[in-house]
Amino acid sequence: MFVAENITVRFGGVVAVDDVSMRVEPGSVVGLVGPNGSGKTTFLNATTGVVPAMGKLRIKEQEIPLGDSGRTRRAGVGRTFQTPQSFAELTVLENVLLGSSDRRRAGFWASTLGRPAMTKLDRERHDKAMAALDLVGLVHHADTEVETLSYGQSRYVEFARVMAGDPEVLLMDEPSAGLNTEETSDLADFVLRARNRGHAVIVVDHKIEYLSRVCDRIDVLQTGRLIAGSSTPTSECDLMLTIENLHVHYGTTHAVRGVSLTVLDAHTVALLGPNSAGKSSILNAISGLNPYEGTITFDGTDLTGMPPEKRARAGLIQVPEGRRMIGTLTVHENLLLGMTAQAGRTPVFGLDDVYALFPMLADMTKRPSWTLSGGQQQMVAVGRALVAAPRLLMLDEPSLGLSPLVAKEVFNALRKISAEVPLLLVEQNSNAALDLCSSVTVIRTGRTVFQGTPQQARGGDVLHRAYLGHDREDHNAPDAHTAATTNDRGSADV
């Protein structure tokens, strides 16, 4: 059993891993995902003694001092790295023998004089190495020099070397990197075999399809914090959207500066921040409406170069700020427009469901949309997006300009929608957004200033700093709720 408690790693003033706890039982696999720079590898380094860290580590109920890599290994923690760490001039078997030394320490005289006990230990090491090679399918390459192997095979040499040490816990850092589809499938088989042998396994990776096949749970790190997972089954925790190092420019204006975030299936992510922070620019980049630099991955597909219409047909649906109704079309006709983006998907919310969510629309089906109030138009905009069968629904300021009563009705509908469809929500009413979301990212001047849970966002000065640029103790400044609910048009956004 692997238990890490309150693991924290600091590099100078940077907190790379922030109070992360994780428990992995024998015979189970936990995936650890998140954008680049989120702290995944650093967490593995902390728990294997590679970098200084604070917190506690227990292996099979035995507490292991952090920072002691030798003792961590002897306690039964095996580790693979992002790139193969093999000796090219040695054979496959010789490489694996390096990892098959018994965790028990040989006696002084046996080690020094080579007595029979040492000979027996050598035989045990050889047998363990061959068993590990059989586990990864490299028995027939035992006498082959590693430098003659393919990249994928050299990865498996490293897996075998770690398994030859008979670890209680197996930590794997980006094991699928550089592997083709067939090799990744074989990797999944290997991880499942390790699980079935009773090993506790933690896998850091970006390939969600194979993680979903092998993991009992997937945890998500963002900016060093564990924002989702723990008790979440894999089937409810698939990675839907990943943004890595996103930049957006408008001429000489740098509107979005290196933002990374993750949206999981069955989760709602709130994107908060003051006006002109870059929130709408992020949504428009995801939709393909703005040129951008960086990587946006949706449902396992890199969206680079994909035009907006193909993104919409893939299920990436946005409700834009300002509703964007076609005024001469009726309510019903505007809703029908949304169905053109279904691309064969069956919507969770059909027309009847939209009218059930927003009952007042049922009596307005033949009215031109230009005759509707702002709140009614917002309901049509949300309904139009729903009938498009979104796999991810993005909403840009859904309560903008609405009366408190109508805004409450819209958020009640969003709460029902969020039970069926993952949401990425930009919203100035921070209280309503925090009530709805499962994780939150706060943006200021195009940069990420906070990522974590709604409870963490409410618990400190996060919103005060983001919206007002000062600490809570500055009593001369307006309160954060006022800043969070007042838009740049001078109207209250409630």
Q: Where are the domains of the chain?
A: 2-236, 239-484
Residue 43 CA to residue 58 CA, distance in Å, equals 15
Give the chain's mean pLDDT. Answer: 83
Model confidence over 173-221: pLDDT tens digits? 989 887 877 888 888 899 999 999 999 999 998 777 678 788 888 888 8
Assess contact for 433 and 427: CB atoms under 8 A. yes
Q: Could you say which architecture CATH assigns to the domain 239-484? A: 3-Layer(aba) Sandwich (3.40)
Assess contact for 261 and 448: CB atoms under 8 A. yes
R_g of the chain computed on alpha carbons: 27
Assess contact for 28 and 201: CB atoms under 8 A. yes
Residue 9 CA to residue 52 CA, distance in Å, equals 7
Weakest-pLDDT range from 101-105, 369-373, 385-389, 454-458: 101-105
Indicate if the alpha-carbon torsion angle 480, 486, 492, 494 is positive or negative.
Answer: negative
For residue 113, what are its two tokens? Answer: 């004089």
Place of tokens 């770690």: 162
Number of residues written out for the chain: 494
Whether 239-484 and 2-236 are alike in CATH topology: the answer is yes
Q: For residues 31 and 102, which has the higher predicted lDDT (pLDDT)?
A: 31
AA identity, residue 452: G
Ramachandran angles phi, psi of 150, nearest 5°: -70, 165
Indicate if the alpha-carbon torsion angle 306, 309, 310, 312 is positive or negative.
Answer: positive
pTM of the model: 0.61
Q: Could you say which architecture CATH assigns to the domain 2-236? A: 3-Layer(aba) Sandwich (3.40)
Task: Spell out the residues 6+ positions from residue 327 whose beta carbon is closer than 8 angstroms to its own.
Answer: 368, 369, 370
Judged on CB neighbours under 10 Å (0-12, 13-18, 19+), 1 is middle
Question: What per-residue confidence (pLDDT) applies to 101?
Answer: 60
Model confidence over 321-377: pLDDT tens digits? 877 878 888 988 989 988 888 888 888 898 999 999 998 888 888 988 888 888 888
Judged on CB neighbours under 10 Å (0-12, 13-18, 19+), 393 is buried
Assess contact for 187 and 207: CB atoms under 8 A. no
User: With b meaning 16 or more CB within 10 Å and e meaning fewer, what string describes 312-345?
Assistant: bbbbbbbbbbebebeeebbbbebbeebeebbeee
